[in-house]
Structure 1
């Protein structure tokens, strides 16, 4: 346990933190896929939110037409002011296409749609649906700094389970890459990015106004891109991070579709673009080598930390991951971020209307299929 402050205000849980916060003025966004619905983690998250009593809960859903009806029926079983935003319907797709906004689908795109719909609330809290040990204090904890003058807050937590360290993409890629960047640029954004203790956490909160000012990455770069936007818009003085304890999440393989290797490419692009956006000029020719040196130092540190706590540690496996992630370090490709809602060619009301029509059509289609 410690009480160290970072460049952003850092709120610690010393064991019994249960702050009061304006949950009844907050929209909670819980992005979900059809795979996660009805799972134990998602069930726990939504059941806990029943005791939080937020103003509203917005669920941006990525699901096939065949599954959206069953997800909708399951969500109706929770005592929540819930708004289901189906992100894959034809009318919504046509609306986005007509405005030049459709493009690549992913978690970030889903959250962007929800931020538009939820941004008319005073506060917006975003968190994943796969935390196995989620509790009802997460929302008020994230809201607390916003109720006291900050505009952006980020959750952080330890990733320790099954007697080993997880959070590999953060530990082995994000953290050493930021350290390498810090050695070749004096841009203040790098120190800002370095101050977050779990920068890839899916849990964050903003004021409603800030939610509509942020440009959003379409995919797995969402979390890092959000930090870059928070720095651009409110800086360190307007940001905070909040201790959410220990989290247990689903674990991804390093390789394969949607594996950590693919994610590292999107995280790198978002991170390096955030640095460039805010005055940094990374030296890309030497950056991979400096990343490897920083990662090697951290592997040694994680190994010793694991031994100190009698945890298992696969040093060679972690080094192999470092080599895999190093291939992702390059100048960011074309910027495909979604625009701030206040500058978008469509309105949140149009999104909500199209998504509702799509949902009604999908449910009616399923109901019309005769039983055999």
Structure 2
């Protein structure tokens, strides 16, 4: 156990205490896919939220037309009675198309759609539905800094299970890449990105004012893009991170569609857009070599840490992953970010109405 502070306020879980927090003034956004529905993890999350009793729970649902009714019936079985936003309904896509926003879809776009509605409450919490270790303390812990005058709060946790270290994309890509950036660029935005102990965590909370200022990456770059906008809107003094204990959830293969390799490319795009927005111009070829050196150093450190704790560790396999991830160190792809809700003419109520149309059409409510 430690009590080290970073440049952002770091709140440690020294006990199992559930802090007093304004849950009654908060909307909780939970992105969910049809693949995750009825899983033990999602069931635990939704059942636990019944005990947290926030002002509102919005499920940002991505499901096929053939399965949406099945998923919504399952959601209706909870006392929680969440608001369901069918994010990929044809009616929603049509409404987005009318305002020129019907581009690529993914987790980030789903969350962004829900944030427009969630920002009607004073505070907003976002977290995933795949944690088998989800606790009723998570939402209050994320909200606590906001009640203390902070604008943005990010969760962090340990990824250790089955006698192995997980969190590979964060350990082997994000952390060494940010360290490599820091070697070549003395800039507050890089220091900010380096201050978060688990920057790829899907758990965060923010004031509704900050939420309305967030531009969203459409896919897996959501978390890093959010940090970039939080740097602009909250900065070091307005940001905090909170200990959510040890997390266990789904693991992904490195290769294949939706694997860590694909996720890595989207995370890299989001990260480089953040630093280029701040005026930095990385020399990508040199950065790639610095990244490899930093990653190799970290693999050795994690190997030692694993041995110290009697954990299994495949150093050769981790170095192979580093080589896969190194391909993503290149200028960012096309900027397809969604605009901040405060900067768009799209009415969140129009999105909700389009979703309801789709749900009614398919007999899903």
Normalised by the length of structure 2, the TM-score is 0.99
Report the equivalent of 2:137: 137
Distance 2:330 2:3 in 1: 36
**Cα gap change, 1:65/1:322 in structure 2, threshold over 3 Å: closer, same or farther?**
same
The answer to whether the 8 A contact 1:108-1:216 is kept is yes
1:67 to 2:67 alignment: yes
Q: Displacement, 1:278?
A: 1.9
Distance 1:16 1:42 in 2: 22
The answer to whether the 8 A contact 2:75-2:81 is kept is no
RMSD: 1.0
Q: Displacement, 1:129?
A: 0.2
Report the equivalent of 1:118: 118
SS at match of 1:183: helix
For residues 205-220 of structure 1, what are the structure 2 equivalents within 5 Å? 205-220=205-220
Residue by residue over 1:6-28, the C-alpha shift from the partner in whole angstroms, topping out at 9 and shown as x without a partner, is: 01000000122321000010000
Q: Displacement, 1:235?
A: 0.7
Aligned residues: 365
Q: Displacement, 1:35?
A: 0.6
Q: Displacement, 1:54?
A: 0.3
Distance 1:232 1:282 in 2: 20
**Structure 2 spans left out of the alignment, 5+ residues:** none
The answer to whether the 8 A contact 1:185-1:281 is kept is no
Q: Displacement, 1:81?
A: 4.4
Distance 1:147 1:283 in 2: 41
1:51 to 2:51 alignment: yes
Distance 1:164 1:318 in 2: 12
Report the equivalent of 2:184: 184
The answer to whether the 8 A contact 2:154-2:242 is kept is yes
SS at match of 1:58: strand
Distance 1:361 1:210 in 2: 35
Distance 2:90 2:297 in 1: 50
Residue by residue over 1:94-148, the C-alpha shift from the partner in whole angstroms, topping out at 9 and shown as x without a partner, is: 1101111011010000000000011111000000000001010100000000000
Q: Displacement, 1:281?
A: 2.3
Distance 1:112 1:245 in 2: 27
Distance 1:319 1:101 in 2: 39
Q: Displacement, 1:62?
A: 0.4
The answer to whether the 8 A contact 1:120-1:209 is kept is no
The answer to whether the 8 A contact 1:55-1:81 is kept is no
The answer to whether the 8 A contact 1:63-1:86 is kept is yes
**Structure 1 spans left out of the alignment, 5+ residues:** 368-372
